[in-house]
Amino acid sequence: MKAETCSRIENLTAEIDGKTILNGLTLEVGAGEVHAIMGPNGAGKSTLSYVLAGREGYEVKGGSVTLDGVDLLAMAPHERAAAGVFLGMQYPVEIPGVSNLLFLRTALNAQRTLRGEPEISGADFMKAMKAAAADMGLDFEMMKRSVNQGFSGGEKKRNEMIQMAMLKPKLALLDETDSGLDIDALRVVADGINKMRSPDRATLLITHYQRLLDHVQPDRVHVLMAGRIVRSGGPELALELEAEGYARIAAEAGLANITDAAA
Ligand code: ADP
Ligand code: MG
């Protein structure tokens, strides 16, 4: 039976180096939905994506996270990935000496093995990689180079989308995927996100700007401040933020100023 809610985060509290960053964060993303998370610098947006993915150094102090009813927080990062969590990072890392092809084939097969599925054949893998690179407007030759090494900012972001297309996550966390993109690249990446909308995928788009949301219509928009969701609304909320900034919402949430809005 298919769970009704794809991803449910309840009252999540997490800290790093003894500092509380997420503070009672509650959020539900239904299967098939795209939600945007906006918020001022330092609000805890990247921290949320790291805690969901299971990055080392973050200590969960309370709350729960489930994906299709399964407890994510009890799993190691690689198990979460096999369960369907994907993190498109704000600052994609370079992996010198490991080609994109080797990296993705290894990741994909490790996930499949953990799920009890057979490994992908070499031919099927290459075919899927060629299609994914073409969709993102990257020359396939780049897939033979080391992961992100020497890639421009925009190419790194496109490469994150290629990884997502290959791994087909259930929960996609895209952290500022739009940052550093010129207008053409923004459109390519937005098209990629739209194309990957699927009834069995939930997507969290972390973004500073309305401009990505001009191309990717979110089902819901949430404002993250001081480590929790202080306001949720429809796509119009993003337009309101663009016009007014965060000051009013901060005041309504009982935060004295935007500086306090940081965790
Ligand atoms: P956002 O992505 O919303 O801009 P982040 O999640 O990156 O915010 O950061 C949230 C807060 O966590 C910031 O105040 C940041 O300084 C703090 N932070 C991040 N890493 C550490 C760390 N290692 N030790 C202490 N504070 C940290
Ligand atoms: Mg961030």
Could you tell me if residue 90 is inside a domain? yes
The domain tally of the chain equals 1
Residue that has been written with the tokens 């039976």 in this structure: 1
DSSP state of 140: G
User: How high is the pLDDT of residue 1?
Assistant: 44
- Which stretches does DSSP call E strand in 185-227? 202-206, 220-225
Q: Which residue has the tokens 């500086």?
A: 259
Ligand 1 binding pocket includes 43 (Cβ within 6 Å) = yes
The pLDDT value given to residue 258: 60
What pTM does this model have? Answer: 0.93
Q: Report how far apart the first and last C-alpha atoms of the chain are (Å, whole number).
A: 39
Contact predicate 224/47, CB 8 Å:
no
Which one-letter amino acid corresponds to residue 244? E
- Residue 58 within a domain: yes
**Tens place of pLDDT per residue across the chain (263 aa):** 454 558 999 999 999 999 999 999 999 999 999 999 999 999 999 999 999 999 999 999 999 999 999 999 999 999 999 999 999 988 899 999 999 999 999 999 999 999 999 999 999 999 999 999 999 999 999 999 999 999 998 899 999 999 999 999 999 999 998 888 888 889 988 999 999 999 999 999 999 888 899 999 999 999 999 999 999 999 999 999 988 899 989 998 888 666 555 55
Quick one: pLDDT at residue 263?
54
Q: Name the residue of 46, 58, 224 whose CB sits within 8 Å of the most ligand 1 atoms, as the mutation to test its pocket.
A: 46
Strand 58-67 versus strand 70-71 pairing type: antiparallel
CA 162/CA 138 separation, integer angstroms: 9
Q: Taking a C-beta distance cutoff of 8 angstroms, is the pair 172, 201 a contact?
A: yes
CATH assignment of the domain containing 36: 3.40.50.300
What is d(CA 131, CA 134) in angstroms, rounded to the nearest whole number?
5
Q: Is residue 161 part of a domain?
A: no
CA of 154 to the centre of ligand 2 (A): 17
107: in domain = no
Q: Is the CB of 104 under 6 A from ligand 1?
A: no
Q: What is the DSSP letter of 199?
A: T
The half-sphere exposure of 254 on its side-chain side, counting CA atoms within 13 A, is 3
Task: Please check whether residue 244 lies inside any domain of the structure.
Answer: yes
* Residue 2 Cα to ligand 1 middle (Å): 35
Q: Does the C-beta of 56 come closer than 6 Å to ligand 1? A: no
Residues in Cβ contact with 229 at an 8 Å cutoff, skipping those fewer than 6 apart: 25, 26, 27, 37, 222, 223
d(CA 167, CA 183): 26
Is residue 147 within 8 A of residue 98, CB to CB? The reply is yes
Provide the domain limits for residue 186: 5-95+170-261
- Ligand 2 centroid distance, CA of 80 (Å): 21
- Is residue 198, in this structure, part of any structural domain at all? yes
* Cα separation, 216 vs 172, whole angstroms: 14
Residue 22 maps to a domain: yes
Select from 166, 145, 171, 168 the least CA-distant residue to 156.
Answer: 145
CA distance 259 to 51: 23
Specify if 108 maps to a domain: no
The number of the ligand 1 atom at minimal distance from the alpha carbon of 44 is 6
Distance 199 CA to ligand 1 centre (A): 33
Burial readout 223-232 (b: 16 or more C-beta within 10 A, e: otherwise): bbbbbbbbbe
